[in-house]
Chain A
């Protein structure tokens, strides 16, 4: 177990880094898309809807593999870490966009009209009036989506990025023993269990 810990800890670091970077990128892209949809420009909305529906329909593992096989066309030195970030961002942003959009749309139109009639432009209304109110509505679903995104990082092991699961499988193969796999599962449980409780708590409080 202590021997496998050395291998697994490398994977754990990679998983945490991947999760943090992908979360930030996906949430940011999702927010930008949601704001663009608020502009209500027909062509842009249509494109965003296609993007969102497509990537909510496509299994994430398939997306990972497509990105992986596309890598050679971007030069062989493209690191696997960033390939995983790209796949997670494309997929995660589709879900975040829907959540943020629902939050923005839940704000009463009177708020829009009032701010605009007071002379605030679109950007000012968005940042100073709409988004601060939308955040409260958005927090519970966004937390649960973030949890799902962190869980999805294990798919990086499928394209041989050395994350926690990949390293655990490597260690299990090396010693022909399943302990590293169980250890990896326990690590995931310890890391994510507080967030499961947090999601339940936030969802209950909303009702």
Chain B
């Protein structure tokens, strides 16, 4: 094996430095998509979880109960489909239906949909783990159903939901690099441009290092959260 050739085309410091500004721009886009997807996806997940728990209550009109069917279908399909497939379908197939969404927003909406589905399952498990007595006590104190959810149940559910939620959030943020496949100018896309311009793989390695620096603290954090919650 040609070791010097390998080092030259993977760890060429000059090329890495030359492409660092472009990679930095890509990193900003990656972080933007990640932040938007996390904020919107978690909100969607929490709302869906509360809706699903609420319509399961006794005395809910049948019309509302039927809402469960499309919700389960949406959640299950997002859990079954690889995010890349959803992304490709949204970006390449929707224009045929006359719906045009920019690359950036196609990516954001797919990640929001995916995180919303996973998040709603995690939040729902959290809400259901809160003892029924909490709901009864709060209601008998005169709080409305939504107030009880907001101030009593959801805060307690958060504690249970936190470990699985952090690991799911990390996996969604890692998926952001899939956006490069539909041409979003994220970190990975900038690295690909660098490879195409220089016939050298070093920009990709530089991007991998940046990704690792970005995610390693998060991976450690999630391991920490999981350990803390067990105790």
Which residues of A are in contact with B by a Cβ distance under 8 Å? 53-54, 56-62, 65-66, 69-70, 73-74, 147-148, 151-155, 157-158, 165, 169, 172, 177-178, 181-182, 184-185, 188-189, 191-193, 195-197, 199-200, 203, 207
Inter-subunit contact B84/A165 (CB<8 Å): yes
Q: Which of A74, A158, A193, A197 contacts B1 (CB 8 A)?
A: A74
Q: Which of B1, B88, B178 contacts A73 (CB 8 A)?
A: B1
> When A53-B219, A188-B82 are in contact, do A59 and B211 touch as well, CB less than 8 Å?
yes
Inter-subunit contact A181/B89 (CB<8 Å): yes
Show 18 A/B contacts (Cβ-Cβ < 8 Å), sorted by A.
A56-B170, A57-B216, A58-B208, A58-B212, A59-B211, A61-B177, A62-B188, A65-B204, A73-B5, A73-B6, A151-B81, A158-B181, A165-B84, A172-B92, A178-B89, A178-B92, A191-B80, A200-B121
The closest CB in chain B to the CB of A148 belongs to: B171
Inter-subunit contact B85/A184 (CB<8 Å): yes
The closest CB in chain A to the CB of B93 belongs to: A178
B174 close to A (CB within 8 Å): yes
Q: Which of B6, B84, B129, B192 contacts A154 (CB 8 A)?
A: B84
A148, chain B: closest CB distance, angstroms: 8
> When A58-B211, A59-B177 are in contact, do A185 and B219 touch as well, CB less than 8 Å?
no
B69, chain A: closest CB distance, angstroms: 15
A185–B2 CA distance with the chains assembled, in angstroms: 42
6 A-B pairs closest in CB distance: A178-B93, A57-B215, A192-B80, A151-B82, A59-B177, A154-B82
Residues of chain B within 8 A (CB-CB) of A199 are: 79
A-B contact count (CB 8 A): 119
Inter-subunit contact A181/B219 (CB<8 Å): no
Inter-subunit contact B208/A155 (CB<8 Å): no
A188–B82 CA distance with the chains assembled, in angstroms: 8
Which residues of B are in contact with A by a Cβ distance under 8 Å? 1-2, 5-6, 9-10, 76-77, 79-86, 88-89, 92-93, 96, 121, 125, 129, 170-171, 174-178, 180-181, 188, 192, 195, 201, 204-205, 207-208, 211-212, 214-216, 218-220
Residues of chain A within 8 A (CB-CB) of B88 are: 165, 169, 181
Inter-subunit contact B84/A155 (CB<8 Å): yes
- With contacts A155-B84, A189-B80 known, what are 13 further pairs, Cβ within 8 A? A53-B219, A57-B211, A57-B212, A61-B180, A61-B181, A154-B82, A178-B92, A188-B81, A189-B81, A191-B80, A193-B77, A196-B76, A196-B79
